[in-house]
Chains A and B, each alone.
Chain A
Amino acid sequence: MRSNENNYIQRLQRKKEDALEYIIDNYISLIKGTVVKVLSPLANDGIIEECINDIFLTIWNNAKKFSGEGEDFKKWIYAIAKFKAIDYYRKNRRKSDGLSSSDVDVLAERSAEDELIRREDQTELVHLINQLETVDRNIFIMKYFLGLKTEEIARKLGLTRASIDNRIYRGKKRLHSQAMNLNMEGHGL
């Protein structure tokens, strides 16, 4: 049996290689569009190519974590692509210091505190994000993993800019105190 539009998600989740070919054929233009948009300021085609490969490998390895239908799948892999591309951008930007980053929207709202969150070990951040309420959780993911601006998040959720800022502030405070607890317990025992 071959993969088609009705069974490719299931086949991908069962680790059938023809499903991998199917998603590369059908979604590579979306993945490339997403990656190039984020990574073009680095002016390094090698990194773009590496990132695209890595995204498909990630989708393959994590396919079982997807839940939903076909249209949701497209959005899910788009989110993964964006998340990965931003991750690549951050890692490679550090390597090449001379780069001007002012024209990249990902960094438009950088502050010292945001940098701190970014520098934290991602698994720990994910762990802590899990403890937030659904709305705040999505705000944090959009902001820190998908690089969305506060205005965009506000528009999506139908909330004001101020209330998004407020939620981020409170969430950060909570994450901060929980991260401190983790550290304290780790050292105090």
Chain B
Amino acid sequence: MKDIYELLNDVDIDDKELEEMKVNDLERARVKKAVKASIHRKKRIWTKGIAAAVIVAGLSTAALGVAFPAYASNIPVIGNIFRFLDIGMGVYQDYKEYSSEINMSQESNGIKFTIKDAIFDGETVSLTYSIDSNRDLGANPIIHGFLDIKDSEGVGGSDKITKVSPNNYVGLLRGTGSHRKGKDTVEFSWNVEGITIQDSKEQIKGNWNFALALKATESKTQLISRQVEHTGVAVNIDKISFTPMSFIVYYDQEVSEKVRSKWGGVDVSLEIKDDLGNVYAGQGNGGSGDSEGYRMQWSTTFEKLDPKATKLMITPHLSLYEYTADNHGSVEITRDGTKEVAIPQKSGKGKEEYTLEDIVIDLKK
């Protein structure tokens, strides 16, 4: 999500609007002094650290208690974690209905992890979990654990966790295995070794190990093989797989030599609408390809297709951007140790964005 300052980049401003006003040296010096003083004041507060952080946490819990009394009584029975964590996105609206209830718990060090529901759509494993702890783990605890998918070369994924009451958390974990064969079932394990409390940097060790096998939800695949190109970047929509609660678009991008020599980063994202005017929210599953990221295969999961839709309009958005210390870092790990790889210097500066031609697909019924 963009915040207001990012959004303001996109607003069209006319030069004629800009109006200047005379400023004398005294005014200028006053502004400098005041602004610098507030920067330094802010720095000092940060280094004071923990006492301030504790107060903030106390306040926010109290505020939550007042604002949402309904939360407090109902927390242990959040039925639909998918939906709970999906506020504002919409991708997981229909997941609960098609997922299997697992309710598998592991307790270690006074902290209990429970896998609530799990679902495999043929591409991505999504599971919801809850944590019941004998102590507060802070606002955003970090869970150290790998989702390991059998027979895959690597796993990409995400973990989202939300505090629902003191000592209670719910989370949504997703993992997509790359280059897997056989999409009807999946075997995976989730081994959690520890939890870090962000505020105090304390780490709690433990053993919470789960192993599961899931059948894929039924799905139907439509081959597409349609390509669009823009400024030396080709986007190919390979296929779409439809499940009862989602659809997954598989696509790849290929970047020409010319663009490669100019830009560090090349990203393609998809915007999807149907002929009824629905806009579908999506969640990227990651992808794989060459180490520079120019020739990549991606997949993105979108929310449930409206059964009345007969066409999908896919609009690829292309962004070319400069690698900077903020958005790019690379390390090479070998037997001799870890070596940082320098950011390649290229002529393209800043960021350029393009919208590619729509690809219109007739849905097979």
Binding site for B on A (CB under 8 A): 13, 17, 20-21, 24-25, 28-30, 32-34, 36-37, 49, 52-53, 56-58, 60, 62, 64-69, 72, 74-76, 78-80, 83, 122, 126-127, 129-131, 133-134, 137-138, 141-142, 145-146, 156-157, 178, 182, 185-189
Q: Which residue of A lies closest to B9 (CB)?
A: A67
Q: Is the CB of A37 within 8 A of B38?
A: no
Which residue of chain A lies nearest to B35 when distances are taken between CB atoms in the complex?
A56
Contact between B35 and A53 (Cβ–Cβ < 8 Å)?
yes
B31 and A76: CB pair below 8 A? Answer: no
Known contacts A21-B32, A29-B21, A68-B350; A76/B84 CB under 8 A: no
The 8 A CB mask of B50-77 against A (1 = contact, 0 = none) is 0000000000000000001011001000
* Min CB–CB distance A96 → chain B (angstroms): 23
8 contacting pairs across A/B (C-beta < 8 A): A24-B35, A29-B23, A30-B20, A56-B31, A65-B9, A69-B350, A78-B18, A145-B4
> Is the CB–CB distance between A189 and B78 below 8 Å?
yes
Contact, CB under 8 Å: B35 / A189? no
Hey, which chain B residues are within 8 Å of A75, CB to CB?
11, 13, 18
The 5 A-B pairs with the shortest beta carbon distances in the complex, nearest first, are A33-B21, A33-B19, A75-B13, A29-B20, A79-B8
B260 shortest CB reach to chain A, Å:
21
For residue B130, give the distance in angstroms from its CB to the closest CB of chain A: 13
> CA–CA, A127 to B7, complex, Å?
11
Please give the number of chain B residues whose Cβ is less than 8 angstroms from any Cβ of chain A in the complex. Answer: 45
Q: List chain B residues, Cβ under 8 A from A156.
A: 12, 14
Chain A residues in 8 Å Cβ range of B14 = 156
What is the count of residue pairs linking A and B with beta-carbon distances less than 8 angstroms?
A: 134
Return the chain B residue nearest A27 by Cβ.
Answer: B20
> How far does the Cβ of B24 sit from chain A's closest Cβ, in whole Å?
10
Take A29-B20, A74-B18 as given contacts and tell me if A122 and B4 are in contact as well, using a CB distance cutoff of 8 Å. yes
Decide if B332 is an interface residue (CB 8 Å cutoff): no
User: Quick one: which of A21, A75, A83, A122 has the most chain B CB within 10 A?
Assistant: A75
Whether a CB of chain A sits under 8 angstroms from the CB of B17 is: yes
Closest residue of chain B to A157 (Cβ to Cβ) is: B12
The residue of chain B having its C-beta at the shortest distance from the C-beta of A131 within the complex is: B88
Contact of B34 among A28, A53, A80, A186 (CB under 8 A): A53
What's the nearest-Cβ distance from chain A to residue B205, in Å?
A: 32
B192-233 residues at the A interface, CB under 8 angstroms: none
- Assembled-state Cα–Cα distance A21/B74 (Å): 53
Q: Which residues of B contact A189 (CB under 8 A)?
A: 70-71, 74, 78, 84
A129 touches B7 (CB 8 A): yes
Closest to B86 in A: A185
Measured CB to CB, the closest approach of chain A to B38, in angstroms, equals: 5
Q: How far is the CA of A66 from the CA of B326 in the complex (A)?
A: 13
B2: CB under 8 A from chain A? Answer: yes
Please tell me if B28 contacts chain A, counting CB pairs below 8 Å: yes
B77-93: CB near A (< 8 Å → 1, else 0) gives 01000011001100000
B9-48 to A contact mask, C-beta < 8 Å, 1/0: 1111110011111110001101110111011000000000
Q: Which of B5, B38, B87, B351 has its CB near the most chain A CB atoms (within 10 A)?
A: B5
Interface flag for B1 (CB, 8 Å): yes
B10 touches which of A126, A134, A145 (Cβ 8 Å):
A134
* Distance (whole angstroms) from the CB of B350 to the closest CB of chain A: 6
Given the interface contacts A29-B20, A34-B19, A131-B88, does A65 sit within 8 Å of B35 by beta carbon?
A: no
Given A30-B18, A53-B38, A65–B5 Cβ distance below 8 Å?
yes
Report the minimum CB–CB distance from A110 to chain B (whole Å). Answer: 21
Q: Which residues of B contact A33 (CB under 8 A)?
A: 18-21
